[in-house]
Structure formats: structure tokens, C-alpha cells
Structure 1
Amino acid sequence: MRQRIRPSHIRRSAAFVAAAAVVSALPAVAAPTAFAEEGEPSVVISNLPSASPKPGEVYDESVVLTNNGTAAADGVTFRIRLTRGLDFPESVQGCTYSTVGDQVRQALCELDTVIEPGASIETPVRFKALPHALMEAVEYGTGPTGETPVEGFSDSYRRLALTADSTADLAAVGEWTEALAGNKQSVTVRLRNDGPGWIQNNESDDQPALMVQIPPGASAVEVPKDCAPFAIDGPSGPGGTPGKPTYVCSPADHTIEVGESLAYTFMLKIDAGVRGTIKGEVKATSVYDIHPVFDKNTANDKDWLRIDIPTDYEDGPTTSGGSSTGGGSTDGGSTTGGDGNDPVGQSTGGTGGTGGTGTAGSPSAGGSGTGTVNGNLASTGSDGTPLLAGAAAAAAALGGVLVVAVRRRRSITESS
């Protein structure tokens, strides 16, 4: 038999409720409480206090559910959701646990109680921060009459965004390759998250991005869709626009997992008459070129996109598969590994040429002159799609580039 709760009294529910969180693209603004019709309960919930838990710490707070309606709420379904950097510290009797959407942990708890009109109950909310916790959110509450809540937020179902007491280290990875004046050359640059925290930022301007300067003496003729022209203080046009000097590249869902490397491949046209080495800076930053507050290590924020152009060469036979410059690898990474900032000599994924240096009469199986313009390939295979409003970046293939093999008269001296 359920116990009746008298108005103005607050009691702790019998079921010990664990916490939960979710990332949602819907605005975290509570809608006004609907007018309770005669004979209908109207449950509202208090706000959880904000916090910045360290990885490994347990958050343990309580919320109060109050019935502002004119009828009793006979039984309450309490839902909690957690983003992937949070988890439930233990299982609680009366709660059913599952994983929904994009790695979101959920608890659905049945509170075997009755809330009379004007009365309140208190129930705990508990969760722990995992080692990769950083930008997190907790979604908690019930429906207006105590039923299972629908998607979206109201006075009975709320969302708390929090930032764990941790960091994430963004790293820029460039490329060093060769090309011929007047020809086209594909180049791939990367944005990598070295952790320890994962990044999903829909709350501030610290959305992770890679700033790419096209080397003077070259022009971008094909651009990834996730790379927009950059003006003085932000994006200034649609992604994929060619012919601009600087681009800002960012994942569509603003998400980068720990250890993930996002690759952005450009097709450049080298100006006729250019010789020596041309270079442009690549920089790990935010969409608005403001250094993210969560990134405390600036040593690996910058790298270079370098292209060596022969100063003295003689035209050789034309092949359809080889490249005089090489610079690719069969796994899509750059064999140069940027400018020393990539600890393993190459990024962990992405696009790029399929390797090989073409020679006269013996074309290779690919070359750095081919490549793929896709804008956003995660080396980990994660689709990075948010739970409720995800968007996946599409990849567009680029191929069939005719590369001229050359016979070098003398070696090229590497220059920085």
C-alpha cells in the first residue's frame, strides 16, 4: 500500500536514484509550467547545483519533486541520462539501465510513491566522472504528471551542463611534400586530440578547429566541406569555397574523441614560376581563433604545410598513376608526419595518397597528386554523432589527377 504524503512535508523516496546525463541540441531553457486542469497532477523539479568534478569523483546531490496540481501523482517515473564522460557509480533497485544514442547512459527509475497536491518528495542524483570526462551534461526529471518524460525540457525535466576539472590537448599536424610549378598537388592536414578529456562543445565558442593558411604561391582549387573561409574573427563563407588564403576546419558536431585525428585534404594549384619552398601555418584553435581554455599545452598547437618546388628540373614522361613527389602512405597518413609534432611520424588516420613515386614507363599505384577531399574522417571510426541532433560529415572522392614524373638533375636541399 502506498503511503500518502501530506502537503508541506518533504520525504526522501524509497528508491535510491542514480544520476544521468545527455547532450542535446535542444535549448536548455525550461518551458513555462502548463496550467493544471482540474483533477490533474502537475509535477515540477528543482535544479541540480552546478559542479566541476575531478575524474574519479562522485557527484551526490538531491532534487525535490513538487506536485503543483489538483490531483495526486500516483507513482513517478524518473529518468536520468549521462554523457559519455560520466557513469553511474552503482546499480540501484528499481532502476533499469541502458545505453541510448551516441554512448549516452540512461537510468529509468520507478518511484513507488504518491505525491499529493501541494506535497513534495526528495530523491538523490548520483554519478561519477570518468578519466576522459570534460564537457558533460546531466538530464534528469519526469513528465508533468509523473509519467516517462518526452524529449525536450520543461519545469519537470531539466538539463545541467558541467565541465569536469580536467583538460584536453589539441594538436596540429601539417605535411611536408613536393610539387611542380604549374601543377596540382593534394595535401592533408590534421587536428588531433591527445586527451585526457574528450571534446564535445555545444555550449561556448571553444568549439575545436584547425586554422589552415594556404602557402603563398599556391591556391586552393578544391576544399573540404568542413573547411570555411576565415576572415578577421570568424568563418566568412560556406565550407568548400575555393580560392581563399585561410580556412577554418571543424567537425560538424564539434566532437573529437581522445586519440582521434580529423583529416582535411586540400587540392592546391602551384603557381607557375614558383621555386624553392613555400609554406603556410596550420594551427589548433577554435572556430573563432580563440585559444580553447581547456587546452593547457600550447607546444603542439602549430605546425607547417610545406611544399618543395624544384629549382632546376627537366620534364619527363607523363604517367597516369605515379607522382614525382611521393608523400603518401597506404594507410592514408602522411609519411612526413608534419613538422616533428606527430609522435608516431604520421597521423592515425585520414586521407591522402596511396603512396609510390612514379618513374618513366613504370607508374606507381597512386601518388600524392591524387588524394581525397572529404573534410572530416575520424581515424578511430567514430561517427561523432550527438544523441538527439546528430549530423555526420559526408566525404567526397577526388581522383584521376594526372601527375607528371620528372627526372631530377640535382637533389633538392631541404629548407624550413
Structure 2
Amino acid sequence: MRQHLRPSAALVAAAAIAAVAPVAHAEEGTPELVISTLPRATPQPGETYDQSVTLTNKGTAAADGVTFRIRLTRGLDFPETVEGCTYSTIENQVKQALCELDTVVEPGASVTTPVRFKALPKALMEAVEYGTGPTGETPGEGYGDSYKRLALTADSSADLVAVGDEAEAEPGSTVTMKATLRNDGPGWIQNQESDDQTALMVQIPPGTVATEVPKDCEPFGIDGPTGPSEPGKPRYVCSPADHTIEVGQSLTYSFTLKLNDSVQDTKGEVRATSVYDIHPAFDKNAANDTAALTIDVPGQAGSGGTTTGGGSATGGSDTGGDDNDPQPQSAGGTGTTGSTSAGTSAGGSTGGSSSSSTGSSTGGNLASTGSNGTPLLTAAAAIAAALGALLILAVRRRAGTKSS
């Protein structure tokens, strides 16, 4: 006789739940919010940007309430507070507004909300984040169909200034020099849209070796950085880790340099540029982009002075009066003048000594070449006197002839 086993009530109930569960899940569905894109703009400082975006529910369930978030970089701000929004400033001076939209967005339906902000006087390289989570919740980090980012550049500029340094050091010694990059505004700088961030190029002075280098300064190759910071390279490009330079901020980088034993006065260079050595388009004033790193080596200027002084000493020996310079003595007129003008100081002597004295008073060799007009005028006066005497003699002879 066969025995029939009847299923228990619990098993029957479990089977019934399993059968209907997938159907219940399908009926629930989920919201899927998608946001439109803000139009691009180039606002002027002081100008207000006023646009709207649309949230559309492409899911299978309604979104009951939406948390809408707006974030602004530090060169932008909210023009006013709006009811239902909570405002705060978060990391990196980013301003945030969390707004609760008390609405139900059915599948296929849309809701529109404004996005308003103003450009501050220091606005330049800015960004705006806006949107919500996929189901209307507070958005997380990162971007997607429901939360987006708009990058914009204000109609403004920033003036980068390179500042050098000057030091004095002995050959073989070590010296620390500072290279500085300053932002004179009016715009602040934070390039998040390309790899060509603002930087300072540093050319190490010839005859020196960089023995200590800042960690933010990388060796620079043919067309860009070549690796992490390390000493001993001829050129470096320095940039802050966050690629941010505020208005009025100075970034100073200290280099320790060792001079070689035969170095003379030497000069390097610092230049405001970018990490790939491309001049930033926002910097309209290139006149202050370059400065020098100058090292004065004691004794080098003195050696140069000795060379120059040697020329002066040679000139001085011409004025001594006893060097027997043959060139002044070759001019008889000059010798006569020397005897007349310096007879007392030279002890009445003539010739070489008196010629040298004339050289001293009239510029040395210039007198013998006729470059100074005084000897020539003296000679001309002597000739004129002689001609006058001859003329008088001739007149007297004529008068005597007539009387006889």
C-alpha cells in the first residue's frame, strides 16, 4: 500500500512567497534621474550667471524629493541665499549649497531648478558642480548623468612675477639662493583642466652645482619634467603640489649651490612659465616674467679693476715726465712749449722732460699728434711774428732806398 505524503502548511506558504516575490520587486522599480548641461560662459568679474537645469526621471519609479547640490570654486560665490538651501564652505575654500526640492518626479516627468552664481574680483580659472544623486539623494563624489561639472574661465588675467636673488660667495664654498614666483593678480590661479600648470623655471648659475633642491622642483629636460626632485641638474621646474597660487601669494624655492674652485662672477635665471615651459595665456604682462640669480665672487671684480687700472697706470707713466717717451720729443714745437710752460718745475730743463710735462698737462700723446690745438696755435703765432718782422724790414729798406 502506497503512502501519500502531504506537504506541510509551512512549505506551501514558502512556495507561495517565492512565486510572488519577483513580481513584487518588478512592481517597485527605481528612479533614474538625469540632469541637463549648463551652457558655457566667460563671465566678467562682478557679473552674475543665471541659468536653469532640468532633471528628468528616466526610471521606473517616482523620485519622492530631490536633494540638489551646487559647489563653486573660490573665485565664485552665491549672489543671495535661497529658502530651503543650506550653505557652507568646505575643503579648498569651495562654497556649497544643499537645496531640498520638495517635489515628486514621476517616471518620464521633469523638474527645472535655477543655478545662479556671481564672479568675484579674483575670478579666473573656475568650476561649478551641480546636480543630485541618481535617485534624488545627496550626491556622492564624482560625476555622472545626474551630477555634472562645468569649467569656465572668467574674462580676467593674472600677472605672474619672477623674483631672483643675489649672493656673494668664495670659490669652492656653498651658498643658498632663493627663486620666487609671485601672483600679482587680479585673478587667482588653479589649473585643473590641463597638465600645463603654472610653474617657475630655474636655471642654475654656470660654475655651480645644486646640492640641495626643493621637493616641488623637478629636473627639466628638453620639453618637460623628467622625474622626481634630485640634485645635480642644470635646470629645474618648480610648481606647488595643489597647482594653486592665490592673489598676492609668493612661492619661494631655496637651492643650495656649491661653487667650483675656478668660478668667476656667474648668473642664472628664473622665469615664470608652466610645467611644460609654455607661457600662460592669462598672463598679459611678460615684462616681469624673468629675473636673475646672481653670484658675485670676491676678487673677480678686483681683478677686473686691476686690468682697468693697468690702463690708467700706463697713462700715468706718460705724465711722469721722465719716461723719455720719444713721441712727444719728436715735435719741436711741443718741446718749446714744454720749456716755456714748465721751465720752473723742470729746473729749466728742456727736451724730454719738458715734453713729458707738456704731455701731462695736455693729455700725453695727444699733444704730439696735434689732437690738442694749443701747440699748433703757438707755432702759428711764432710764424706770424716772423712774417711781421720780415715785412717791417722790407718797408724800412724801401724807405731807405727812396730817401737816398
Distance 1:38 1:293 in 2: 54
Distance 1:86 1:68 in 2: 32
Distance 2:141 2:99 in 1: 17
Within a 5 Å distance, the mapping from 1:225-374 to structure 2 comes to 225-239=215-229, 241-275=230-264, 277-311=265-299
Unaligned regions of 5+ residues in structure 2, if any?
Answer: 1-25, 302-404
Instruction: Return the offset for 1:238.
Output: 1.0
Aligned residue type for 2:71:
R
Post-superposition CA distance 1:157-185 (Å, at most 9, x none): 11111111110111000001100100010
Determine which of 26, 29, 41 is the counterpart of 2:31.
41
Distance 2:228 2:27 in 1: 49
CA contact 1:206–1:291 (8 Å) conserved in 2? no
Post-superposition CA distance 1:352-380 (Å, at most 9, x none): xxxxxxxxxxxxxxxxxxxxxxxxxxxxx
Question: Which residue in the other structure is 2:12 paired with?
Answer: none
Within a 5 Å distance, the mapping from 1:6-405 to structure 2 comes to 39-239=29-229, 241-275=230-264, 277-311=265-299
SS of the residue 2:80 aligns to:
coil
CA contact 1:205–1:286 (8 Å) conserved in 2? no
Distance 1:38 1:254 in 2: 47
Distance 1:254 1:98 in 2: 24
Aligned residue type for 1:224:
P
Post-superposition CA distance 1:301-340 (Å, at most 9, x none): 0000000001269xxxxxxxxxxxxxxxxxxxxxxxxxxx
Question: Which residue in the other structure is 1:384 paired with?
Answer: none
Question: Which residue in the other structure is 2:323 paired with?
Answer: none
Distance 1:249 1:312 in 2: 31
Query: Using a 3 Å threshold, how does the CA distance of structure 1 residues 304 and 312 change in structure 2: closer, same or farther?
Result: closer
Instruction: Return the offset for 1:147.
Output: 0.7
Instruction: Return the offset for 1:37.
Output: 9.3
Matched residues, number = 277
Decide which structure has the larger Cα Rg and report it: 2
Stretches (4+) displaced over 3 A: none
Distance 1:204 1:86 in 2: 20
Question: Which residue in the other structure is 1:413 paired with?
Answer: none
SS of the residue 2:34 aligns to:
strand
Aligned residue type for 1:265:
S
TM-score using structure 1 length: 0.65
> Structure 1 vs Structure 2: percent identity of aligned residues?
74
CA contact 1:78–1:141 (8 Å) conserved in 2? yes
Distance 2:227 2:133 in 1: 42
Aligned residue type for 2:198:
P
Instruction: Return the offset for 1:205.
Output: 4.0
Distance 2:71 2:133 in 1: 15
Across the aligned residues of Structure 1 and Structure 2, the Cα RMSD in angstroms comes to: 1.6
SS of the residue 1:172 aligns to:
strand
Instruction: Return the offset for 1:38.
Output: 5.2
Instruction: Return the offset for 1:206.
Output: 3.8
Aligned residue type for 1:290:
I
CA contact 1:280–1:305 (8 Å) conserved in 2? yes
Distance 1:37 1:304 in 2: 74
Query: Using a 3 Å threshold, how does the CA distance of structure 1 residues 312 and 292 change in structure 2: closer, same or farther?
Result: closer
Instruction: Return the offset for 1:219.
Output: 0.8
Distance 1:312 1:296 in 2: 39
Unaligned regions of 5+ residues in structure 1, if any?
Answer: 1-35, 314-416
Distance 2:226 2:142 in 1: 32
Query: Which protein is richer in helix relative to its size?
Result: 2
CA contact 1:228–1:236 (8 Å) conserved in 2? yes
Query: Which protein is richer in strand relative to its size?
Result: 1
SS of the residue 2:270 aligns to:
strand
Distance 2:267 2:152 in 1: 40
CA contact 1:206–1:293 (8 Å) conserved in 2? no
